[in-house]
Structure 1
Amino acid sequence: MALSSHHEKLASKAADFSSAPVPSPTTSVSPTPSDSRIAIRVPSETEVPSSKEVETVNAELATEAVEGTIVETANGERIYVEFVENDPRNPINFSRTRKWVITITTSTFICAAVAGSSSYALGWPSMTRDLHTTNFKATAGISTFTAGYAIVPLLISSISEEFGRHPIYVVTTIGFMFMHLGVALADHIRTVLIVRFFGGVFGSGSILAAGTIADLWDPHERGLPMAIFSFNAVAFTGLGPVFAGYVEQNPHLEWRWIQWIHLILCGVLALATILFSKETRSDVILSRLARKLRKETGDPRFRARVEDERASLRTRIYISVTRPFYFMFTEPAVASFSLWVGFAWGITFVLIESIAPVFKTLHNFSQGSTGLVFITFFIGSSFGMCTNIIQERLYAKHVGTHGPEARLYHAMFAAILFPIAMYIYAWCTFPDVPWIALAIGITLFIWATFIMFLTVFNYLAECYGPFASSALGGQALCRNAAAAGFPLFTQQMYSALTYHWANTMFANIATLMIPIPFVLYFYGPQIRARSKFASQVKHRYNLSNS
């Protein structure tokens, strides 16, 4: 198969690069005539022109514009611009204050995106009345949003490599803000559905926050920033409906003001992004420095290495679009985790759609009180944050002997908690069972989902190293596709099977998935050894028992 052989060839190229000795910036080396380099962020088949000798020259002698930057000249044909040690322009060397400001600003975008996706559901009663539409058509607004959110991530990583993360943040936050304006002013359900799709497109810019965290923090420092990112992604899926329920209940506000409030908040976010965020891709920063030098000196030899090492934008987009599918069908770890977290995320959006009718019909909740039920998302995510402290300690203790599988203790707990939560939710949907029992079931489910969400990011990132974006792209596509598809059959399913049996079916499927993290824990090293991609980064772990 052409696609398969193409990706396998790229994996082989990356293996050659990862095993090649890296020259010190203070020593001279003599590469062989066939010497080539593959950009580690985006492995490609683009070769760097060979050179007989690489020597380090003083940056001050090159130009004052890059004072403190190492410049390497390759046989007089290229002058490569690099960061010096502890260079303050290198994002990994930013001050902790700046790192946290950027991390919080970008992570807030995920809050706005997921809250915007879910709070929309609380406005259905007045929307269906004002737009003279059906509840099913209004429901489709969730699916069109998540569809847009699923598609664009296949492209956005390659675009960020070309133009940087910060311009994408600026464009997408502003675009996301205006999509709320479009929904607020809509006078037909078709307009709502179309604008919601583009809202998902612009909202998907928030997924770059995970990459920003990787740019800013060393691996041993990423635990807390990634936990905050995951917390925001799960908790704010529920916190959006908390305020939306009371807005919908007020006859002077209703569904349009849910959008107006989001518009105002997203405007503040867009302003904060412009003022406080900053470019964090080191290769993009070096490319800009090199362009600046070429312009100021008129010397075309000044280059960033990535300019010569990476493939064309068209090739990178092709790889970023096709490789996640390739990973999902050829990599057992990616396939199993994509199926698992995709199923959980689909059920999350089933809950978003079903909580209102369940609590209204069984316990006579008002629209505002129904919104308060979504606080369970915050509580469950908070439990996940707390238990992640234990996971981080176990990881630090066992990573030396278990490698990336030391990330899976938390996931094994979640695998058991997941079906238990669904069984509780299924068999507490009776009028004579206190509503708090349902709330407990939802809280436990969100606790499990948070753990799964966080584990997938951390485990796949460690397993696949430079190929992590493709591995995570595969699970993100599966997760968002499930979130788009599940709400389309929720109402029909509950009407046919009742709340008890429909949720029992979900619980049974979750039970069948319990072995997934256990299998990866015990057999992960063997599975990774057979992978043409994961096997290339196994040397990063000092394992004694594998």
Structure 2
Amino acid sequence: MKDLVRESFFGQCARLITGGRVLQYPEEEDPSIWQRYVHAEKSANMGLYGTTERPSSSSSAQNQNEEKKKKTRKSDEDDGASNDSGYGANGEQTPRRAGGHQKYIDPEKGRDVHVVDWYGPDDPANPQNWSTPKKFFVTFEICFLTFSVYIGSAIYSAGIQDVVKVFGVSQVAATLGLTLFVAGYAVGPMLWAPMSEIPQFGRNPVYIITLAVFVVFQVPTALATNFGMLLAFRFLTGFIGSPSLATGGASIGDMYTPSKRTYGLAVWGFGAVCGPTLGPLVGGFAVEKKGWNWTIWELMWLSGFCLAILVFFLPETSSANILYRRARRLRKLTGNNKLICEPEIAGQDMTGKDVAQMALIRPFTLLFTEPIVFLLDLYIALIYGLLYIWFESFPIVFIEIYGFSLGTEGLAFLGILLGVFVVAPLLFWYHHRYIEPKFNENGELTPEWRLPPAFVGAFAIPICLFWFGWTSRADIHWIVPIIGTAWFSVGAFLLFNSVMNYLADAYPLYAASVLAGNDFFRSMLGAGFPLFANAMYTKLGVNWASSTLGFISLAFIPIPFVLFKYGHWVRLKSKHARHDL
């Protein structure tokens, strides 16, 4: 519990205010152990090659020259290097290498630094070494955060008709309150996702500060005095609240190895599904009793409660930030400014132009130049768009056809949630039984083996849409179309899980940019589709409107099959994808 609170936003603030006198780290309680955090081999490589990794290939002449330099170095280069106290001849405290020898610094390309790293494969500060209960608790927090923000889109939809009456606007205009919120999802990650990757920031400040603003902005949204004010704050809240949707998956990846990441992302998917499915249920009853703005108050209370939990109990999961703060503590503790971590070394070589290119240009470059990324992002964007346009048919079906009230109409969405509870255990069993054994001794998997679950998911989407469209009739019991809705969550759950894992494995060096582009693409389609949903279902009817969406989804079924067979060949042609698996 001490470690959990110390790594939280509250814990770091408490340490900052007290100058590190409370919630101390092990090296602060026992200064004699700080040397174990210095990685001897990486420090030596920095001295010889200027990088933490030994070059994979070098000329024999170069190797001979380096060996000659090593042999000719003076033995008294640092008289205190082997001193047990860890102090050099000049009184400066320096990290010792194995054997007590001072590393040689190449005058041309070497750097005299001491690389701060994990002290071993079992370092408890590394998020991947956290205990299972701690990982589960942090995963729950990320899911709760995602749910608390994601519900903000669907909870508003329950009050659209009331917005029409209160502000005297058309239904399409009132729907903008939904679409602009989702559009904020698309734009926000382009800023927040790269910021969370910067070692000096980490993920926690991005989560906490944006969530706090998200909570505060619900007040002017609920008290909007005109329609323009409502739309402006709906966009701003979507923009501010987006980090959980774009960076939540990255936090899961911080804690779980690639072989276990499927489970973490699947559990995180529960939070993403619960938001849109429970939003109409929660919001419907509130609108019936109090009006549209009570959906916003509910959103504020929920996200505020989530904020209170995260402030005190959400630890930092970014390994780059954890190592950065460790290196900073050691510099302060020892007075040795040569102590530095790898993320700092990488950041020193990046200019503002590089950061801007990574955040603003690379996601779009990868999206439109990489066939794999474009096809899968287009598929996921389609599913996302279909979800939002399909949701607009629920009032037509369950209120107009079956006579549900606004509140009980939200119960119809529970079929979607039930589908996730059915398919998730089956996905876990399949992954454990068939996929985990395919990982090699280095914990790596050929990316295409992430795709088989998508084979089932691809067929589940059109099954849902045709089932729902042709069973939504007064002469068929309402439970039948609700059962059909479960197929959508089966399809979306399997497709999202497969695609996110596949992209992360196929583009490990550019995963953040690839996933940011995916979020932008799908959110933009999700924002635009609801604007014509009501007109489409009104003019075509529920049966043919849903069938039209079903035919569109049928056209995308071959994508996972084609990539499973030819994905490796396509990756070999790419400059950015991984080639060695």
Give the structure-2-normalised TM-score.
Answer: 0.79
Q: Which residue of 1 aligns with 2:389?
A: 350
Alignment of 1:466-481 (within 5 A): 466-481=509-524
Distance verdict in 2 for CA 1:329–1:153, change over 3 Å: same
Instruction: Tell me the distance in 2 between the aligned counterparts of 1:434 and 1:58.
Output: 83
Between 1:223-232 and 1:481-490, the stretch displaced more is 223-232
- Tell me if 1:272 matches 2:312: no
Q: 1:82 aligns with which of 112, 117, 120?
A: 117
Q: Which residue of 2 aligns with 1:11?
A: none
Q: Which residue of 2 aligns with 1:101?
A: 137
| Equivalent pairs, count | 501
CA contact (8 A) 2:48 2:104 kept: no
Q: Which residue of 1 aligns with 2:108?
A: none
What secondary structure is seen at the aligned counterpart in 1 of 2:224?
coil
Which amino acid in structure 2 is aligned with residue 412 of structure 1?
F
Deviations 1:466-507 (A, max 9, x none): 211222222211111111110111122223322222221111
Structure 2: tracts of 5 or more residues without a match: 1-37, 54-65, 106-110
Instruction: Tell me the distance in 1 between the aligned counterparts of 2:84 and 2:186.
Output: 44
Instruction: Tell me the distance in 2 between the aligned counterparts of 1:504 and 1:124.
Output: 25
Instruction: Tell me the distance in 2 between the aligned counterparts of 1:195 and 1:491.
Output: 24
Instruction: Tell me the distance in 1 between the aligned counterparts of 2:209 and 2:568.
Output: 41
CA contact (8 A) 2:142 2:268 kept: no
Distance verdict in 2 for CA 1:440–1:473, change over 3 Å: same
Instruction: Tell me the distance in 1 between the aligned counterparts of 2:344 and 2:430.
Output: 40
Q: CA deviation at 1:84?
A: 0.2
Q: Which residue of 2 aligns with 1:192?
A: 230
Q: CA deviation at 1:155?
A: 2.2
Q: Which residue of 1 aligns with 2:178?
A: 142
Alignment of 1:494-513 (within 5 A): 494-513=537-556
Instruction: Tell me the distance in 1 between the aligned counterparts of 2:359 and 2:84.
Output: 35
Instruction: Tell me the distance in 1 between the aligned counterparts of 2:392 and 2:97.
Output: 56
What secondary structure is seen at the aligned counterpart in 2 of 1:373?
helix
Q: Which residue of 1 aligns with 2:403?
A: 364
What secondary structure is seen at the aligned counterpart in 1 of 2:117?
strand
Instruction: Tell me the distance in 2 between the aligned counterparts of 1:222 and 1:340.
Output: 22
Instruction: Tell me the distance in 2 between the aligned counterparts of 1:59 and 1:152.
Output: 52
Which amino acid in structure 1 is aligned with residue 228 of structure 2?
R
Q: Which residue of 2 aligns with 1:337?
A: 376
CA contact (8 A) 2:43 2:115 kept: no
Q: CA deviation at 1:33?
A: 7.1
Q: CA deviation at 1:31?
A: 6.9
Q: CA deviation at 1:197?
A: 0.7
Distance verdict in 2 for CA 1:27–1:357, change over 3 Å: closer
Which amino acid in structure 2 is aligned with residue 522 of structure 1?
K
Q: Which residue of 1 aligns with 2:208?
A: 170
Instruction: Tell me the distance in 2 between the aligned counterparts of 1:398 and 1:89.
Output: 29
Deviations 1:207-247 (A, max 9, x none): 32211111112222223211111121123210121121112
Alignment of 1:424-503 (within 5 A): 424-503=467-546
CA contact (8 A) 1:68 1:87 kept: no
Q: Which residue of 2 aligns with 1:526?
A: 569
Instruction: Tell me the distance in 1 between the aligned counterparts of 2:164 and 2:396.
Output: 15
- Tell me if 1:516 matches 2:541: no
Which amino acid in structure 2 is aligned with residue 318 of structure 1?
Q
Q: Which residue of 2 aligns with 1:316?
A: 355
Alignment of 1:355-434 (within 5 A): 355-392=394-431, 393-398=433-438, 403-434=446-477
Q: Which has the greater radius of gyration?
A: 2
Instruction: Tell me the distance in 2 between the aligned counterparts of 1:67 and 1:112.
Output: 48
Instruction: Tell me the distance in 2 between the aligned counterparts of 1:27 and 1:213.
Output: 27
Question: What do you get for the CA RMSD once the two structures are aligned?
Answer: 3.1
Instruction: Tell me the distance in 1 between the aligned counterparts of 2:167 and 2:208.
Output: 32
CA contact (8 A) 1:391 1:407 kept: no
Q: CA deviation at 1:295?
A: 4.0
Instruction: Tell me the distance in 1 between the aligned counterparts of 2:567 and 2:457.
Output: 18
CA contact (8 A) 2:220 2:233 kept: yes
Q: CA deviation at 1:429?
A: 3.2
- Tell me if 1:61 matches 2:96: no
CA contact (8 A) 1:78 1:303 kept: yes
Which amino acid in structure 2 is aligned with residue 78 of structure 1?
V
Which amino acid in structure 1 is aligned with residue 378 of structure 2?
L
- Tell me if 1:258 matches 2:295: yes
Identity between Structure 1 and Structure 2 (%) = 30
Give the structure-1-normalised TM-score.
Answer: 0.84
Q: 1:125 aligns with which of 142, 146, 161?
A: 161
- Tell me if 1:285 matches 2:285: no
